[in-house]
Copies of this chain bind each other. A is one copy, B any other.
Amino acid sequence: MPTLQETAAVPRVQPCCPPLTRQELSPADAATMAAMFKALGDPVRLRLFSKVASHPDGEACVCDIADVGVSQPTVSHHLKKLREAGLLTSERRGTWIYYRIAPTVLAALSVMLSDAP
């Protein structure tokens, strides 16, 4: 297995929180989670996120997902925002950077938004 190298240091953002229906968010948790939702609150970013999430093997090279109707620098900018919010991780392997949904993020968001009492 090749050695994997992180492309850039990004803050470690931990998703959190019990279901919203069970317990009110603390101000600190609300700040963390609002940053994640804000990152998903742009149609192009959300499409990029969904392209990574739905890609075979759960990871995608920027070359796999860049057809969203904006320039390549704009795609890179959006991917950076998703990384900074803790939603994506990235690894450089050779020439390419590969993106994955950050571990535990989807499950955490899903639990937080579940409508279980």
- Which residues of A are in contact with B by a Cβ distance under 8 Å? 20-25, 27, 30-31, 33-35, 37-47, 49-51, 53-54, 58, 69, 101, 106-107, 109-111, 113-115
Contact = CB atoms under 8 A, between A and B. Distances in A.
A31 B43 contact: yes
8 contacts: A21-B54, A24-B51, A24-B54, A30-B44, A33-B40, A35-B41, A106-B115, A113-B113
A42 B46 CA distance: 17
Contact of A41 (B23, B37, B101, B111): B37
Which DSSP category, helix, strand, loop or mixed, fits chain A's interface?
A: helix
B34 A42 contact: yes
Contact of A21 (B30, B35, B106): B106
Please list the 4 inter-chain residue pairs (A to B) with the smallest Cβ-Cβ separation, ordered nearest first.
A38-B41, A37-B40, A106-B115, A20-B53
Contacts of A22: 54
Question: Which of A23, A31, A106 has the largest number of chain B CB atoms within 10 A?
Answer: A106
Contacts of A69: 27
Contact of A113 (B23, B42, B51, B110): B110
